[in-house]
Amino acid sequence: MWFQKEIRLPAVKRGFHLITDLLVAQLPELESINVGLAHIFIKHTSASLAINEDADPTVRQDFESHFNHMVPENQPYYRHTLEGSDDMPAHLKAALLGASVTIPIANGELNMGTWQGIYLCEHRGHASKRTVVVTLQGEE
């Protein structure tokens, strides 16, 4: 079985946001898959996806602080700045983290670790809604 769906995510402020429950709520097709894979791809170049700690919100705050330190705004060597001081840093952060995640499916559920969740990593200060493409494949 193959299934694909685009999901529009709500606009959020810059930071790392858990979207696992939001995605699962929009994917009732997951329940029919006994064993398979979920591939989630974000259709943007200034936001990314990641899997990490989903219990303690300070982890997400620390991610944001670290990436802002690692990829600072307003650097004199940035040439791509027409959309603001966060534009090029957003592209760099997205390239570092990546545009997709793949998660095993077992018995109708995402087969993730106890403390794992899917992050929408928003790297722009004033971003609009984001779109992800979810592709499910597996045996019913």
Whole-angstrom distance, CA of residue 130 vs CA of residue 126: 12
The number of folded domains in the chain is 1
pLDDT digits (tens, 9 = 90+) for 80-107: 998 999 999 999 999 999 999 999 999 9
User: 12: burial class by Cβ within 10 Å (0-12, 13-18, 19+)?
Assistant: middle
Per-residue pLDDT of the chain (140 residues; tens, 9 = 90+): 999 999 999 999 999 999 999 999 999 999 999 999 999 999 999 999 999 999 999 999 999 999 999 999 999 999 999 899 999 999 999 999 999 999 999 999 999 999 999 999 999 998 999 999 999 999 99
Radius of gyration in angstroms for the set of CA atoms belonging to the chain, rounded to a whole number: 16
Task: Provide the pLDDT for residue 103.
Answer: 98
Whole-angstrom distance, CA of residue 71 vs CA of residue 88: 9
User: 139: burial class by Cβ within 10 Å (0-12, 13-18, 19+)?
Assistant: exposed
Whole-angstrom distance, CA of residue 65 vs CA of residue 63: 6
Range of the domain at 132: 2-72+80-139
CATH number at 113 reads 2.60.120.460
Supply the pTM of this predicted model. 0.95
